[in-house]
Amino acid sequence: MDIAFLDQLWAARIPLVRGLGISISISLLSIAVGTVLGVLVGLALTYGARPLNWLVRGYTDFIRGTPVLVLVLASYYVLSTVGIDLGPFQAGVLALAVFCSSHVGELVRGALQSIPKGQSEAAKAIGLTFPQTFAYVLGPQAFRQALPAWVNTAAEMVKASTLLSIIGVGELLLSTQEVISRTFMSLEFYFFAGFLYFVINYGIERFGRYVERKTAVPS
Amino acid sequence: MSYTLNFAAVWRSFDLLLQGLALSLGLAVVAILAGSVLGLVTAFGLVSKSEVLRRPAGLYVTIIRNTPILVLVLFSYFALPQLGIRLGKIESFVLTLAVYAGAYLAEVFRGGLIAVPPGQREAGLAIGLTEMQIRTSIIIPLMLRNVLPSLGSTMISLFKDTSLAAAIAVPELTFEARKINVETFRVIETWIVASCLYVATCSLLAALMRAVERRLAVPR
Amino acid sequence: MMKSFTMVASLAVAALALPAQAQQPSSKLDEVLARGHLILGTGSTNAPWHFKSAEDKLQGFDVDMGRIVAKALFGDPEKIEFVNQSSDARIPNITTDKVDITCQFMTVTGERAQQIAFTIPYYREGVGLMLKADGKYADYEALKAGGSSVTVSVLQNVYAEDMVHAALPEATVDQYESQDLIYQALESGRADAAATDQSSLAWYMTQNPGRYKDAGYGWNPQTYACGVKRGDQDWLNFVNTALHEAMTGVEFDFYAKSFKTWFGKDLTPPQIGFPVEYK
């Protein structure tokens, strides 16, 4: 790390900090929207009636089978041809949220299905209705079960936010590339960006562990 | 609404897309095979009682999993030569994806290893197997059955990550699609076709994994 | 009587004429004027065409072309909203109305001209070869003699392979996604020469004095023009007029100053008298 790089880094602090801020907003928004959607998807996958179940299964399979990069591009270009005109930020967040929802949906389904049948039978036996069973018996167990994987998904979303640079959203990677196009210090600035992403994701991971401990079954 | 879809230009270059898909699959297979070995070794490190094994394994997994793969791809292609390690585009990408896969698969395998009851190892010891024999003939097969669902989804996501090879001009599916875009500007049509190719391949992989899962399922 | 008839008649004519006038397709020109700013599509990662200054402001020759149009529209070159786009987004963003105009070192080709309308050219680009100052090859002749052992880094493009082979028939061609990766390949020794626009090479060499040299060969002329949506002659005509007057008329100083800033060359003012266009 030489002086020239530190100089350039200081000179570029404002765009980089702004890019970081945009990366964080993209990630937070897409995780929030994706999680809400994903829980609905997960419920439909587990308890939905035939046609709904098939529809949602098709949705998750298609989304999970497409690279995020392709989803981002499709969201930006394909939607505008059918009259939905979104800016790059909205289109990108939409793509990431949809991507996130398919993963969260699978997590929720997996978690709900991993709960032994005896649990819902027991709930039925003591006279709980289905919403009650879900709220007091299945939901909390599924939450505990899905949490570690959900944190992974959140970290994935932060990494996937880099792909929005391709449709012109000025997040951290695009800001970094803009600085590189002026300074030509590819390696140093890519490293710096990588380091920032690492710090964010590592923070998320630690937080996930903490929550996991808090919600763990006492043994 | 004035845009009209026209797939003619994409069909003209369809062979290129298929060639790209073949290369994507090739990259994924080699990287996943190498990554599985790396991941398995790392997973045993992660569950080891020895700190000397656990620490480096944990560090590897933590760093790789928390860094965007694009940065890793650029690093191995542009920084490693400065350290005297020169690899071609494809080799460099496969190496990166294998290292990346190793970290993800290590976590998958670790989960499976923990789920193998200790009684299995004890039973193996009781019938006189060595530690290595216990690993290869008892623990790994049991672990693999435990992890099949998450192994499948990790593999599919690694296959999709091959799209990033386009960043260093490896002519896989995404690279070919972008090339056709630059050539014809039929961006929408090209991405529709490319994404259908990805989805079809992933569905095939998923169906394959489900079949394997069914075959290996514990009879109840 | 006669008077009132005329009045009724003229009212009728007016009533007929009004909807007819409202139905007349309004041009992008009116839309932009009503909006009060120009929406310009361009990139942000290619010096000296479109890139961010240390103050994080978009600048470059492409950007200045947009500023010329904005000045012609509003008398204020700053009335621009930028849409940041990658190279393969240039035409889709025009056809899907995400931008009013794109100025992003876009090469004019017949195939592209079927999808969008090109304005008049604002620059003629050519390709050059850049070498490391202390590298293995001294100049173009040495590269040519090197045959297939020479690797040339170039920006990803469908013409890239043919383009390099036109100058170095046997050279190995490596295509990269972005300009800085081409230079990085040269710097790290992955490539022996970088082939790209002479304007970009000139800019890079002035930014890194003494480290690189020009191989002394240029080829592959191509025309850069802005692009607008097809089917709006009014708008195309306006943009053409603005660009034309920047290269030959009242805004020549604006164009020449920009040219000097980004390409380091002074332009001779257009000759007074008989218009240069008819020579």
Which domains are assigned to chain B?
A: 8-216 (1.10.3720.10)
- Which chain C residues touch A179 with a CB distance below 8 Å? 52
How many domains, chain A?
Answer: 1
Q: What b/e sequence results for B10-41 when a residue is b if at least 16 CB atoms lie within 10 Å of its CB, and e otherwise? A: beebeebbeebbebbbebbebbbebbbebbbe
Q: Is the pLDDT of residue B40 over 50?
A: yes
C205 touches chain A (CB under 8 A): no
Are C166 and C222 in contact by the 8 Å Cβ rule? The answer is no
Are A132 and A123 in contact by the 8 Å Cβ rule? The answer is yes
Q: Is the pLDDT of residue B220 over 80?
A: no
Q: Which of A55, A54, A88, A94 lies closest to A71 in space, CA to CA?
A: A94
Range of the domain at A160: 3-215
What are the beta bridge partners of residue C129?
A: C195
C194/chain A closest Cα distance in angstroms: 14
- Higher local confidence (pLDDT), A166 or B199: B199
pLDDT-derived band of residue C22, with 50, 70 and 90 as boundaries? very low
pLDDT-derived band of residue C5, with 50, 70 and 90 as boundaries? very low
Contact B66 A201 (CB under 8 A): yes
pLDDT for the residue numbered B35: 96
Neighbours of chain B (3+ CB pairs under 8 A): A, C
- Which chain C residues touch A167 with a CB distance below 8 Å? 85-86, 89
Nearest to A178 among C44, C92, C97 (CB): C44
pLDDT for the residue numbered C24: 55
The number of C-beta contacts closer than 8 angstroms across A and C is: 68
Phi and psi based region of residue C271 (left: phi greater than 0; alpha: psi -120 to 50; beta: remaining):
beta
Three-class HEC string of chain C: CHHHHHHHHHHHHHHHHHHHHHHCCCCHHHHHHHHCCEEEEECCEECCCEEECCCCCEECHHHHHHHHHHHHHHCCCCCEEEEECCHHHHHHHHHCCCCCEECCCCECCHHHHCCCEEEEEEEEEEEEEEEECCCCCCCHHHHHHHHHHCEEEEECCCCHHHHHHHHCCCCEEEEECCHHHHHHHHHCCCCCEEEEEHHHHHHHHHHCCCCEEEEEEEEEEEEEEEEECCCCHHHHHHHHHHHHHHHHCCCHHHHHHHHHHHHCCCCCCCCCCCCHHHC
Report the CATH number that the domain containing residue A114 is assigned in CATH: 1.10.3720.10
Spatial distance between the Cα atoms of A218 and C238, rounded to a whole number of angstroms: 74
Nearest to A162 among B1, B68, B191 (CB): B68
C126-222 has CATH 3.40.190.10 classification: yes
Q: Provide the residue type at A168 as one letter.
A: G
* Phi, then psi, of C158 in degrees rounded to 5: -65, -25
C188 touches chain B (CB under 8 A): yes
- Rounded to an integer, what is the distance from CA C239 to the centroid of its chain? 13
Kindly report, residue by residue over C242-273, the tens digit of the pLDDT.
999 999 999 999 999 999 888 878 899 999 99
Contact B183 C158 (CB under 8 A): yes
pLDDT for the residue numbered C250: 94
Spatial distance between the Cα atoms of B18 and B180, rounded to a whole number of angstroms: 13
Q: In chain C, which residue's Cα lies nearest the Cα of A79?
A: C96
pLDDT-derived band of residue C177, with 50, 70 and 90 as boundaries? low
Kindly report, residue by residue over B112-161, the tens digit of the pLDDT.
999 888 888 889 999 989 888 998 888 998 898 888 888 888 898 899 99
Residue among C173, C179, C188, C230 with most chain B CBs within 10 A, to mutate: C188
Contact C44 A11 (CB under 8 A): no
pLDDT-derived band of residue C20, with 50, 70 and 90 as boundaries? very low
Nearest to C184 among A11, A179, A186 (CB): A186
Q: In chain C, which residue's Cα lies nearest the Cα of A17?
A: C56
Instruction: Calculate the average pLDDT of chain B.
Output: 87
pLDDT for the residue numbered C56: 86
Give the mean model confidence (pLDDT) for residues B82-107: 87
Question: Is C126-222 in the same CATH topology as C28-124+223-278?
Answer: yes
Spatial distance between the Cα atoms of C91 and C102, rounded to a whole number of angstroms: 8
- Rounded to an integer, what is the distance from CA A215 to the centroid of its chain? 21
- Which chain A residues touch C181 with a CB distance below 8 Å? 186
Q: Is the pLDDT of residue C15 over 50?
A: no
- Which chain C residues touch A184 with a CB distance below 8 Å? 180, 183, 204, 207-208
| Segments making up each domain of chain C, as ranges | 28-124+223-278, 126-222
C86 touches chain A (CB under 8 A): yes
pLDDT-derived band of residue C12, with 50, 70 and 90 as boundaries? very low
* Phi, then psi, of A86 in degrees rounded to 5: -110, 145
Interacting residues of B45 by C-beta distance below 8 A, sequence separation 6+: B53, B54, B56, B57, B58, B106
- Higher local confidence (pLDDT), A177 or C143: C143
Give the mean model confidence (pLDDT) for residues B15-34: 95
A187 touches chain C (CB under 8 A): yes
Omega of the bond prior to B141 within 30 degrees of 0, cis?
Answer: no
Give the mean model confidence (pLDDT) for residues C175-192: 82
Whether the CA torsion C43, C49, C52, C57 is positive or negative: it is negative
Residue among C45, C94, C207 with most chain A CBs within 10 A, to mutate: C45
Give the mean model confidence (pLDDT) for residues C109-134: 93
Q: Is the pLDDT of residue C121 over 80?
A: yes
User: Which residues, numbered 15 to 74 in chain C, qualify as contacts with chain A under a Cβ-Cβ cut-off of 8 Å?
Assistant: 44-47, 51-54, 56
Spatial distance between the Cα atoms of B19 and B29, rounded to a whole number of angstroms: 15
Neighbours of chain A (3+ CB pairs under 8 A): B, C
From first to last of the 219 residues of chain A, give the pLDDT tens digit. 578 889 889 988 999 999 999 999 999 999 999 999 999 999 999 888 889 999 999 898 888 888 888 888 778 877 766 677 788 899 999 999 999 999 999 999 999 988 888 888 898 899 898 888 888 888 888 888 888 889 888 988 999 998 888 788 989 988 988 888 788 777 788 889 889 999 999 999 898 888 888 877 776
Highest mean pLDDT among A183-187, B88-92, B94-98: B94-98
Q: Which of A201, A179, A204 lies closest to A190 in space, CA to CA?
A: A179
At the top level of CATH, the class of C28-124+223-278 is: alpha beta
Q: State ipTM.
A: 0.74
C196 touches chain A (CB under 8 A): no
B4/chain A closest Cα distance in angstroms: 8
Q: In chain A, which residue's Cα lies nearest the Cα of C49?
A: A181
pLDDT for the residue numbered B43: 95
C88 touches chain B (CB under 8 A): yes
Assigned token pair, B194: 């490319």
Q: In chain A, which residue's Cα lies nearest the Cα of B82?
A: A187
pLDDT for the residue numbered B84: 62
Contact A155 B65 (CB under 8 A): yes
Kindly report, residue by residue over B180-192, the tens digit of the pLDDT.
876 676 777 888 8
- Rounded to an integer, what is the distance from CA B108 to the centroid of its chain? 12
Q: What b/e sequence results for C109-144 when a residue is b if at least 16 CB atoms lie within 10 Å of its CB, and e otherwise? A: eeebeebbbbbbebbebebbbbbbeeeebeebebbb
Q: Which of A165, A175, A182 lies closest to A8 in space, CA to CA?
A: A182
User: Which residues, numbered 124 to 153 in chain B, qualify as contacts with chain A under a Cβ-Cβ cut-off of 8 Å?
Assistant: 149, 153
- Higher local confidence (pLDDT), B76 or C4: B76
Contact A70 B174 (CB under 8 A): yes
Neighbours of chain C (3+ CB pairs under 8 A): A, B
Residue bearing tokens 């000179």 = A11
Residue among A73, A96, A162, A205 with most chain B CBs within 10 A, to mutate: A73
